[in-house]
Amino acid sequence: MTRTPSLSHPFLLGFDDIERALDRVAKGASEGYPPYNIERMPRTEDEPDRLRITLAVAGFSREQLEITLEENQLTIRGRQSDDKNRQFLHRGIAARQFQRSFLLAEGMQVMGADLSNGLLAIDLVRPEPERLIRRIDIVSRD
């Protein structure tokens, strides 16, 4: 079955990248671990308006977490390994790995990350763009 592009309207020129991004997001939406929040943080005297992604990563140390930004894709990976010296009578907390990806809008910047009380917080900011108005000259081809 052929998928009809959703952004194929003749007035939507050059949106191919957005359509590919939407496809990537749809494929990754089925991931359920780790749970996360996204919140808008208010502007303060020291910091602009920003977004904060908070992931519940209880049991992971800073060394077991990796955050990468490749083009506009923010990827958080967690890797735990089994401790062979421990003998469990009951094991309800599995040592597991995860990868969670977020597609960032053009211009978004990662301000930093903080791990506290099992929560990994990543702050993002979008600088205010300059408003550019450009006059287009009309030439006559007679």
pLDDT of residue 69: 95
Q: Which domains does the chain have, with CATH numbers?
A: 32-81+96-125 (2.60.40.790)
Q: pTM of this prediction?
A: 0.70
Q: What is the pLDDT of residues 27-75, one digit of tens each?
A: 655 567 899 999 998 888 887 889 999 999 988 999 999 999 998 899 9
Structure tokens at 130: 């300059």
pLDDT of residue 12: 66
| Residue 120 buriedness (CB in 10 A; 0-12 / 13-18 / 19+) | buried
pLDDT of residue 2: 53
Q: What is the pLDDT of residues 9-23, one digit of tens each?
A: 666 666 676 676 666
Q: What is the pLDDT of residues 77-119, one digit of tens each?
A: 999 887 788 888 888 877 789 999 998 988 899 999 999 999 9
